[in-house]
Amino acid sequence: MRKFLVMIMLVSGVLSLRAQDETTFTDEELQTYASVMVWAEQEKAALSSIVSDSVAIWLEESPLDNAKYNELSKADKKDDLASVEATPEQVEAYKEVKARIAEKTANFKETYVGKIKGDIGAGLYNKLKAALKKDEEVKERYQAIYEELKAEAAAENDEEAEEESPEQ
């Protein structure tokens, strides 16, 4: 009988520990997380656009054309810039464009990490990120909030674009 009671106590202890491990998140926490993720998505899109536009402008003003830039970029990824037939000016222009892109990317990452630490908190961010991979209920709640915030942000962007465009 004693073994049976000890076994029941052990099982109930394990179950209570498992229940404590399962974290529930409030809608406010999910909303905070989602708002940072919506912001990050918008910033990534803006960064991509800025980089593309900037590369086009920088390339117009440099001895480098799009084809040569792409060729140098592919070779650089393989750490073999010397294999590309390019003038020293073209290589220098490529390195300048690459440095500008790296600077913009670093600024984004710094701001993103700051928003995670300041708005969400590193602990909550890590718990939510893990829960979104494992817990379908949390994922569904988050997705609904995320989609709503994303739609609101898109509507705000559309309104701003209409205000900025000249009337015809």
Q: Which residues contact 125 (CB under 8 A, 6 or more apart)?
A: 33, 116
Give the tens place of pLDDT for each residue, 11-70.
Answer: 666 555 444 445 689 999 999 999 999 999 998 888 777 667 766 776 677 777 778 888
Which pLDDT value is given to residue 82?
Answer: 86
How distant, in Å, are the alpha carbons of 13, 14, 84 from that of 8?
Answer: 8, 10, 72
pTM attached to this predicted model: 0.67
Give the tens place of pLDDT for each residue, 78-132.
Answer: 988 889 898 888 888 888 888 888 898 899 999 999 999 999 999 999 999 999 9
Residue (of 145, 147, 159, 154) closest to 30 by Cα position: 145
Straight-line distance from the first to the last Cα atom of the chain, in angstroms, rounded to the nearest whole number: 89
How distant, in Å, are the alpha carbons of 64, 68, 91, 102, 140 from that of 84?
Answer: 13, 9, 9, 22, 49
Helix (H, G, I), strand (E, B) or coil at 61: coil
